[in-house]
Structure 1
Amino acid sequence: SGEIVGLLGPNGAGKTTTFYMICGLIGATKGKVYLDDIDISTTPLHERAKLGIGYLPQESSIFKDLSVEENLMLAAEIVYEDEKTREDKVDELLSLLNIEPIRHRKGVSLSGGERRRCEIARSLVITPKFLLLDEPFAGVDPIAVSDIQSIVSDLKQLGIGVLITDHNVRETLAICDRAYVLKDGTLLASGTSEEVANNKLVRTYYLGESFKLI
């Protein structure tokens, strides 16, 4: 927890499949999934969420006909029975993600960056220990990418562990404490962002020789 870890690799490497196995969307064909030294390999998705695993998919997942506030409240109603607790949690997340000014805007009218902030806020409703972010930079402009980088870094400061995968490799490695690179479902390399970026195998099979972190 309290660490940002990147899961990188070319298309078909197994990144999204790994995410699916961790959060419980599919079962592992080999090996096991552990959370705090507890085997959760056969634990259903909703139970894993209760244990503290949050997941933000690449595809847009907000309800476009609902407002930002309503999207968060819908998630909060599943988690919290008390109305005041739900309202307080939603207000807290609106402030944390800096989306208070757009709380009444419909999902259909949000920009890519605003939509991502709303989705991240909703994934935090369950107060996760770990948050899996699948392509959080996809479909957003450069300013919004920087904004999301700051948000993810803030999650680390809150003690939330973040596992992130994205094809924007430079932007992803910039905020990672360490990273793993997959190729054809196997581990190609791991280490700090600098170690991964300078790894000969990673540069040969994934990044290219001209890749630079900055």
Structure 2
Amino acid sequence: MLKAENLRKSFKKRLVVKDVSLQIQQGEIVGLLGPNGAGKTTCFYIIAGFLKPDNGQIILREELITHLDVAERAKKGIIYLPQESSVFRKLTVAENFKIVLERFKNNLKIMKEKLEYYVELFDLKDILNQKTYTLSGGQKRKVEIVRALLIEPQFILLDEPFAGIDPIGVAQLKEILETLKNEKIGILISDHNVRDTLKICDKGYVIANGEIIGKGTPEEILENDLVKEKFLGKKFFM
């Protein structure tokens, strides 16, 4: 389990995150939602390791990891994937994977077998020799996620994954997330796309004015009067 407990963060004496607590289990998709300026992004970056909280802690399976940065958390199995594509655009898909495999020279045979499994799982075999700049948004996401999976993560943090992709890409991404869930990977999504996030997540947290105003299943969030008042509006529907 990955937990954030009682997170607080201020910038220039302005309190932007107020005692936020949340948790993610492996094999679970969790949404982190909220209006602009609500503290959602700050909270997400604290969990990822880009920011240190003024108070509170991040715990991974009973181990305190608040002091660890993004790279150190990656070694613990927490992978951050940014909104902007992180693939090497001028390289082929296969070359993108090769860069990761070079880190595992002592275990190359096993890693190649894992790569073959994920290439098959995510239906990438036919595009291995394509330059990544020619791929669709959904295909690039698949390449990014397969690279991440080779590092054997337990949790993946997705920053605005639905931004800038067309409806086909959104559908592909939802399939990817379901696959990751079935692989027992915990997923935290921070996104402005409320409908698509709630359709895919098992539970969600809504932040407004720096604090959690609603949490629970998508159905519970949609029925929450405070969430309607502060974020969704009275006429919002799925």
TM-score, length basis structure 1: 0.93
1:140 pairs with 2:165: yes
Q: What secondary structure, in the 3-state scheme, does the structure 2 residue paired with 1:188 have? A: strand
> What is the rounded CA distance, in whole Å, between the counterparts of 1:212 and 1:145 in structure 2?
19
Match of 2:195 among 156, 167, 170: 170
Report if aligned partners of 2:203, 2:216 keep a CA contact under 8 Å in 1.
yes
- Counterparts of 1:1-214 in structure 2, within 5 Å, are 1-79=26-104, 81-213=106-238
Q: Which amino acid is 2:152 matched to? A: T
Report if aligned partners of 1:56, 1:133 keep a CA contact under 8 Å in 2.
yes
Per-residue deviation at 1:83? 2.7
Q: Which amino acid is 2:78 matched to? A: I
Report if aligned partners of 1:8, 1:180 keep a CA contact under 8 Å in 2.
yes
Residue by residue, what CA displacement relative to the aligned partner does 1:46-88 show, whole Å, maximum 9, x if unpaired? 2211211011111111110111121122123235533323322
Per-residue deviation at 1:43? 2.0
Report the identity percentage. 47
Unpaired runs of at least 5, structure 2: 1-25
Unpaired runs of at least 5, structure 1: none
Report if aligned partners of 1:3, 1:160 keep a CA contact under 8 Å in 2.
yes
> What is the rounded CA distance, in whole Å, between the counterparts of 1:129 and 1:5 in structure 2?
14
Q: Which amino acid is 1:210 matched to? A: K
Count of residues in correspondence between the two structures: 213
What root-mean-square deviation, in Å, do the aligned CA atoms of Structure 1 and Structure 2 show?
A: 1.5
> What is the rounded CA distance, in whole Å, between the counterparts of 2:70 and 2:146 in structure 1?
19
More strand as a share of residues: 2
> What is the rounded CA distance, in whole Å, between the counterparts of 2:75 and 2:121 in structure 1?
22
Q: What secondary structure, in the 3-state scheme, does the structure 2 residue paired with 1:82 have? A: helix
